[in-house]
Amino acid sequence: MGSTNSTLLKIPNVEVLMQETGFSPAHIIRLHDRFKALDKEGRGHLCPQDFGEIKELAMNPIGDRIIGAFFSPGKETVDFHTFVKILAHFRPVDKDRPKEPNSPEPINSRSNKLKFAFQLYDQDKDGKISRDELLKVLRAMLGMQVTEEQLESIADRTIQEADLDRDDAISFEEFRKSLEKVNIDHKMSIRFLR
């Protein structure tokens, strides 16, 4: 046990980080410890292999995509700030937050959570989930357990239902609309303990 202040001071720009993400000081420290534990060689940043070492993630069918979500296009490393910002998507929605019209939308808003999920599908980041991208995700989640035809029929049905402007792809708005009734806050949030 010890006081938290000095650990917080070691992290650069921690005030800004806390404000942007809404994490408490205790959470930041825990995440920092976790970051250090994952960064086995102590380089101060993480690379895809460090994530790959997490066994439960390696067993996750869409594990690679989740790892990819941490790395911006072209970047090979993740620093602590980006790490925390991505994880902030999964904070439960703050119900009592006063609505300030000029402040930017919080990272863990319903809309941003949906955007995170959307990018898991939309790997080429063109703003649309093409039939091909959908097939890839289905293949990842079902593996060799289903035939190609079954996959295609599932993909066709999904696009048929969600694609409102008939361009054979699902845009973010169509994605959002098809998931209107889903409790995003519950499904895409993690309970951080004190």
Distance from C-alpha of 48 to C-alpha of 67, rounded to nearest angstrom: 7
Distance from C-alpha of 132 to C-alpha of 107, rounded to nearest angstrom: 29
Using CB under 8 A as the binding rule, the residues of this chain from 124 to 163 that contact other proteins are: 137-138, 141-146, 150, 154, 157-158, 161-162
State the CB neighbour count (10 A cutoff) for residue 186: 9
Please report whether residue 17 would count as binding other proteins according to CB under 8 A: no
Q: Which residue has the tokens 């930017």?
A: 104
> Considering only residues 22, 30, 106, 185, which one is a binding residue for other proteins as defined by CB under 8 A?
30
At 4, list the tokens: 């938290």
Of 13-21, 96-104, 117-125, the window that binds other proteins (rule: CB under 8 A) is 117-125
Please report whether residue 9 would count as binding other proteins according to CB under 8 A: no
Q: Which residue has the tokens 């006063």?
A: 98
Distance from C-alpha of 87 to C-alpha of 72, rounded to nearest angstrom: 14
> Considering only residues 12, 13, 26, 44, which one is a binding residue for other proteins as defined by CB under 8 A?
26
Q: Are the C-beta atoms of 29 and 4 separated by less than 8 Å?
A: yes
Please report whether residue 18 would count as binding other proteins according to CB under 8 A: no
> Considering only residues 48, 115, 121, 185, which one is a binding residue for other proteins as defined by CB under 8 A?
121
Distance from C-alpha of 135 to C-alpha of 133, rounded to nearest angstrom: 5
Please report whether residue 111 would count as binding other proteins according to CB under 8 A: no
Residues that bind other proteins (CB under 8 A): 1-7, 25-27, 29-31, 33-34, 37-38, 51, 53-63, 66, 87, 90, 116-117, 120-121, 137-138, 141-146, 150, 154, 157-158, 161-162, 170, 175, 177-184, 187-193
